[in-house]
Amino acid sequence: MDELERIKQKKLREMMDRKKAGESKEDWPDTTVEVTDSTFKEVIQKYSLVVVDCWAEWCAPCRMVAPVVEELARDYKGKVVFGKLNVDSNMGTAGEHGIMSIPTLLVFKNGRLVDQIVGAMPRKMLEPKITKHL
């Protein structure tokens, strides 16, 4: 029972810390957020569910999925924050997460990587892969 109580207290502290930090889902962005090597950890820890789109300007499939990601950012405001990480300018983060193909979407829940979605796909295929983490 002590282990259960310890976990319960830890979760309660985490929730209180988020509340103190002013995390209000109304304040969550409704567009994609630019993520860089220097802001990456801050972004994935600030919001409870973050999807980071790893892309490059020269990548045609990345350009195809970009409007879908923008739509999802608007439609899931307050539930999911969508970030954009240019892998050419942020090789450190891309390397840390083993990005070998783009586009790759990294899904973080409470600061922890929980899924990777590789390749461009239409919204009807992409959306369920993200919403299963809600």
Catalytic site residues? Answer: 59, 62
Say how many CA atoms lie within 13 Å of 29 toward its Cβ. Answer: 18
What tokens were used for 55? 């892309």
What CA–CA distance (Å, rounded) separates 49 from 104? 16
**Cβ-contact 105, 116 below 8 angstroms:** yes
What CA–CA distance (Å, rounded) separates 124 from 18? 32
What CA–CA distance (Å, rounded) separates 54 from 61? 11
